[in-house]
Structure 1
Amino acid sequence: MTNNFQVVLGKGGNDLALIYEYMENGNLKEHLSGKRRGSTLNWSSRLKIAIESALGIEYLHIGCKPPMVHRDVKSTNILISKTFEAKLADFGLSRSFLVGSNTHVSTNVAGTFGYLDPEYYQKNWLTEKSNVYSFGIVLLEIITGQPVIEQSREKSYIVEWAKSMLANGDIDSIMDPNLHREYDTSSSWKALELAMSCVNPCSTERPNMTRVAHELNECLEIYEKFIKRSQDANPTNSMGHGTSFISDTPSAR
Structure 2
Amino acid sequence: MVHRDIKTTNILLNEHLQAKLADFGLSRSFPIEGETHVSTVVAGTIGYLDPEYYRTNWLTEKSDVYSFGIVILEIITNKPVIDQNREKRHIAEWVGQMLTKGDIKSITDPSLHGDYDSSSVWKAVELAMSCLNPSSINRPTMTQVVSELNECLASENLRGGQSQEMDSQSSIEVSMTFEPEANPAAR
Structure-1-length-normalised TM-score: 0.64
- Aligned pairs for 1:213-232 (under 5 A) are 213-227=146-160
Whether contact under 8 Å (2:115, 2:162) holds in the other structure is no
- In the alignment, is residue 194 of structure 1 matched against residue 127 of structure 2? yes
Higher radius of gyration, 1 or 2: 1
Q: 1:244: how far off?
A: 6.1
- In the alignment, is residue 85 of structure 1 matched against residue 18 of structure 2? yes
Q: Which of 89, 98, 119 is matched with 1:165 structurally?
A: 98
Secondary structure of residue in 1 paired with 2:133: coil
The separation in 2 between residues aligned to 1:191 and 1:198, in whole angstroms, is: 11
Cα deviation 1:53-79 (Å, max 9, x = unaligned): xxxxxxxxxxxxxxx000000000001
Distance 1:190 1:239, change over 3 A: closer
Whether contact under 8 Å (2:157, 2:167) holds in the other structure is no
Unmatched segments (≥5 aa) in structure 1: 1-67, 228-237, 246-253
Q: 1:224: how far off?
A: 1.2
Aligned to 2:62: 129
Report how many aligned residue pairs link the two structures.
169
Q: Which of 148, 166, 176 is matched with 1:243 structurally?
A: 166
Q: 1:241: how far off?
A: 3.4
Unmatched segments (≥5 aa) in structure 2: 169-187
Q: 1:178: how far off?
A: 1.4
Q: 1:149: how far off?
A: 0.2
- In the alignment, is residue 96 of structure 1 matched against residue 19 of structure 2? no
Structure-2-length-normalised TM-score: 0.86
The separation in 1 between residues aligned to 2:111 and 2:162, in whole angstroms, is: 17
Question: Between the two proteins, what is the percent identity of the paired residues?
Answer: 63
Whether contact under 8 Å (2:6, 2:48) holds in the other structure is yes
- Aligned pairs for 1:135-214 (under 5 A) are 135-214=68-147
Q: Which amino acid aligns with 1:147?
A: P
Q: Which amino acid aligns with 1:100?
A: E
Q: 1:117: how far off?
A: 0.2
Q: CA RMSD in A?
A: 1.6
